[in-house]
Structure 1
Amino acid sequence: MRKPFRYVLYMMVGFLIYQIIDSGETGFSHTEVKNTLIIVMVAVFVLLLIVRVIKQRYDDRDGDS
């Protein structure tokens, strides 16, 4: 699996969880929980991008030596 596809997959899983909560079939249908889930999804996505950049810099530094 290519790396960019992995991030899309993570976002799709998060969106699926969001839709399940929004469906009203669970006890977690409160607005606060939905808003928190959106914030968590964005935070995880940003953290994954940061880790990716750090890893690329680390790999580039090792390649130059």
Structure 2
Amino acid sequence: MRKSFRYVLYLMVGFLIYQVIDSGETSLSHTEVKNTLIIAMIVVFVLLLIVRVIKQRYDDRSDKDS
């Protein structure tokens, strides 16, 4: 995935979350949403770190095989 596409995807997801929170149709309070988003950000960060480690291991193995 190209970096520019990734940033557009992040922007769209952030805008969607903003619209859902600001729509007033949710039963969640702003405090609950804030806590949920903090947890979601931490989970996404950890998943990205795991994917990065797996990708580096795969790249290291392919370099050794060549």
Give 1:57's aligned amino acid: R
What amino acid is the match of 2:37? L
Query: CA distance change for structure 1 residues 41 and 11 in 2, over 3 Å: closer, same or farther?
Result: farther
Larger Rg, first or second structure (1 or 2): 2
Q: Percent of pairs identical after alignment? A: 49
CA distance in 2, matches of 1:28, 1:13: 23
Match of 2:45 in 1: 45
Unaligned runs of 5+ in 2: none
Q: RMSD of the TM alignment (CA)?
A: 2.5
Unaligned runs of 5+ in 1: none
Q: Which residue in 2 is equivalent to 1:64? A: 64
1:11 is aligned to: 10
Q: Normalising by structure 2, report the TM-score.
A: 0.59
User: Which gives a bigger RCO, structure 1 or 2 (Cα 8 Å, sep 6+)?
Assistant: 1
Q: Give 1:16's aligned amino acid.
A: F
Shift of 1:35: 1.9
Does the C-alpha gap of structure 1 residues 35 and 21 become closer, same or farther in structure 2, counting only changes over 3 Å?
farther
Q: TM-score, structure 1 length as denominator?
A: 0.60
